[in-house]
Amino acid sequence: MSEEIIKDVIIGENEEYIVNMGPQHPSTHGVLRLEVCLKGETVKYLIPHIGYIHRGIEKMTEALTYPQIIHLTDRMDYLSAHINNEAVCLVVEDAMQIEVPERVKYIRTILDELNRLASHQLWWSAFGMDLGALTTFFYGLRDREYILDIFEESFGSRLLHSFVMPGGLMHDIHPNFQKRTKEFITYFRKKLPEYDQLLTGNVIFHNRSKGIGYMSKETAIGYGVTGPSGRGSGFSCDIRKIAPYGAYDKVQFNEILETEGDTFARYQVRMREMWESLNIIEQLIDNIPEGDYTAKMKPIIKLPAGEYFRRVETARGELAVYVVSDGNKSPYRMRFRTPNFSNLFVMNEIAKGCKIADLIAISGSLDLVIPDIDR
């Protein structure tokens, strides 16, 4: 090394410089660019740059009918596709004052929770890998396969299953659905403690996550951080409890809250939520009432003129759908308030002063899905 280069390196230790993380950085789980200002290894501030996967979904909805829009919502948060579908369906059913059959509510709720489980499993796999624990990826994806196989059998697709339709479901569930879901619950109840053994008690993992990326409750509320990330800071924001939809008012479950507000707390919330999801499915799976899989719907869905607002709890937080209708078969304006959008922008606040390696842990603990931000 020449003397000049050595000088540069030494000066770099004391001076601020900017590093672009992304848009192809492996730890961002998608096309997100973080403009990080560093001093040595410490983060001074960061600016997220988004829009690399902006598809203009809100504009597209203005030219599509409501059943067509369902298929677009899959592509926002693809890991909780089913819950996104349901949000639009709930708005349409609200506006047209359709009472969906009990059977539909039960099945939807079970699918919501299966979807949440699959999403949390993938998050756990990727989060472990972000911190250098490769084995988590094999464990998580092995168990996620079970859920995806159930999905595939019932809806024909594994990830983007537009199975929910306004008024009910696309078709009835597969005869094997209940049996296989119960098999999965028994299986996963045995496997979930393995997750804890592998990662939760690990000393290296504790050092990487405890006290890192502290977010106070006020910050969480101010920035609108919802879902497990917000609940890790003690912000009670579970829409399943606040405004129950589907069959959530018929089941017993707890809202998981942790108050530490660090990366480890957000991790704990998701781990405990997986147990809660298993409980919810277990309460419903044997009691699915007989009946139709869809309510009687008109062939062309037109919402009465007016404004409608509906919120659901996806695997990452609060998804709100706001529709302004002028009485036509496509909405006049449709707005998706997506959870990841708010969850991303708190990063500058909580990552200030941490090391660049901790930035990876923080972004992993926020569980970002980039297409959901860009829409």
Partner 1 sequence: MLNREELKKIIGSLEPDATFSEGTQLLEVTVPAEKLYALAEKLKSDSRTTFDYMINHTAIDFVKNFTVVYHLESTEMRHLVVLKSILEDKDNAKVDSLSALYPAVEYFEREVFDLFGIQYNNHPYLKRFFMEDGAGFPLRKDYRDEVNIIER
Here the tokens at position 255 are 């809202």
3-state secondary structure 261-293: CCHHHHHHHHHHHHHHHHHHHHHHHCCCCCCCC
Query: Per CB under 8 A, which of residues 290..349 are in contact with partner 1?
Result: 306-309, 311, 318, 320, 322, 324, 332-333, 335, 337, 341-342, 345, 349
> Using CB atoms within 10 A of its CB, is residue 34 exposed (0-12), middle (13-18) or buried (19+)?
buried
SS3 44: strand
**From 106, 235, 245, 267, residue interacting with partner 1 (rule: CB under 8 A):** 235
Q: How far is the CB of 236 from partner 1 (least distance, A)?
A: 7
Q: How far is residue 346 CA from its own chain's centroid?
A: 16
Q: By rule CB under 8 A, what string of x and - marks binding of each residue 124-163 to partner 1?
A: ----------------------------------------
What is the CB neighbour count within 10 angstroms for residue 221? Answer: 15
Q: Between 101 and 228, name the residue whose CB sits nearer to partner 1.
A: 228
Q: Between 214 and 332, name the residue whose CB sits nearer to partner 1.
A: 332
Query: Per CB under 8 A, which of residues 236..295 are in contact with partner 1?
Result: 236-237, 242
Q: How far is the CB of 128 from partner 1 (least distance, A)?
A: 29
Helix/strand number for the chain, H first, E second: 16, 8
Query: Per CB under 8 A, which of residues 30..59 are in contact with partner 1?
Result: 49-51, 54, 56, 58-59
Size of the site for partner 1 (CB under 8 A): 36
Q: How far is the CB of 352 from partner 1 (least distance, A)?
A: 14
Query: Per CB under 8 A, which of residues 185..204 are in contact with partner 1?
Result: none
* 92 near partner 1 (CB under 8 A): no
Q: How far is residue 152 CA from its own chain's centroid?
A: 20
Q: How far is the CB of 336 from partner 1 (least distance, A)?
A: 9
What does 54-75 look like in DSSP terms, one character per residue? ---HHHHHTTS-HHHHHHHHHT
Q: Considering Cα of 172, then 177, then 179, then 185, what sign does the dihedral take?
A: negative
d(CA 225, CA 261): 12
Residues in CB range of 83: below 8 A, 6 or more apart: 77, 112, 115, 116, 312, 313, 314, 315, 319
Q: How far is the CB of 18 from partner 1 (least distance, A)?
A: 16
Q: Between 58 and 145, name the residue whose CB sits nearer to partner 1.
A: 58
Here the tokens at position 327 are 């009485």
Q: Between 5 and 63, name the residue whose CB sits nearer to partner 1.
A: 63
Q: How far is the CB of 311 from partner 1 (least distance, A)?
A: 8
Q: Between 159 and 242, name the residue whose CB sits nearer to partner 1.
A: 242
**From 222, 289, 291, 327, residue interacting with partner 1 (rule: CB under 8 A):** 222
338: DSSP letter: -
Q: Which residues bind partner 1 (CB under 8 A)?
A: 49-51, 54, 56, 58-59, 63, 94, 219, 221-224, 235-237, 242, 306-309, 311, 318, 320, 322, 324, 332-333, 335, 337, 341-342, 345, 349, 374
